[in-house]
Amino acid sequence: MIVLSGTIGAGKTSLTKMIAEHLDSQAFYESVDDNEILPLFYKDPKKYGFLLQMYFLNKRLGEIKNASAHATDVLDRSIFEDPLLFRLNADLGRATTTEAEIHESLVQNMMEELPSVPQKKNPDLLICVQVSFDTMLERIKKRGRSYEQIDEDPSLYDYYKSLNERYAEWFEKYDKSPKLSIDGDKFNFVESHEAEVAVLAVIDEKLKELAIK
């Protein structure tokens, strides 16, 4: 099981699709465009933040169960990122500390109880796409989801800035599985075929090293 991680606009979904097609495996995508709660959360984070995290937790647990049944399936978001995202919301006053603590405890307890082969509860490889703050903002603006735009909600600037900083810290501390960092500024695999080929070659080398492929 290969899992992608990275901040908003990093290119996780695009790389998930590329890897799955490259490995002839199945991709599991984060529920965003069909997520009715997400736009409500952006309008009123305090009211809908906890509900949104419960929604994602339920979806991710189902994806882990399904992906653990096949070799080299690819998930476009790690469940271990969710506490990071919700803790940030609490620190910025967009959720309560109690809600963040309950959510983090739920993630830990549900992962412990997940009925699966123990080593499959964690990914075989986590790939983190890391981008600069400027690149993050550029891509958020480019993909045009109205509820994500700073022009619509200036408070999102501080949220995005803190999120990008915390992702770098989170990746450094992550120890649930082998991990690989992709420089999303250097390799714009979304728009460049050459960059896509280069990134897939790096991933192939890592999979070979881990005896996954």
Binding site annotation covers 30?
yes
Binding site annotation covers 95?
no
Binding site annotation covers 55?
no
Q: Which of 211, 175, 159, 136 is nearest to 45 (CA)?
A: 159
Binding site annotation covers 158?
no
Binding site annotation covers 53?
yes
Binding site annotation covers 143?
yes
- Count of C-beta atoms within a 10 Å radius of residue 204: 15
- Count of C-beta atoms within a 10 Å radius of residue 65: 14
Per-position DSSP letters for 106-172, written without gaps between them:
HHHHHHHH--S-GGGGS-SEEEEEE--HHHHHHHHHHH--GGG-TTT-TTHHHHHHHHHHHHHHHHH
Binding site annotation covers 98?
no
Active-site residues: which are they?
Answer: 76
123 alpha-carbon distance from chain centroid: 13
Taking CA atoms, 131 is separated from 47, 103, 120, 143, 208, in Å, by 30, 27, 28, 16, 25
Binding site annotation covers 149?
no
Binding site annotation covers 9?
yes
Binding site annotation covers 183?
no
Instruction: Give the Cα separation of 100 and 84 in Å (integer).
Output: 9
Instruction: Give the Cα separation of 188 and 201 in Å (integer).
Output: 14
Q: Which residues are annotated as a binding site?
A: 6-14, 30, 42, 53, 77, 82, 139-143, 148
Binding residues for ATP: 6-14, 139-143
Task: Point out the annotated binding site for substrate.
Answer: 30, 42, 53, 77, 82, 148
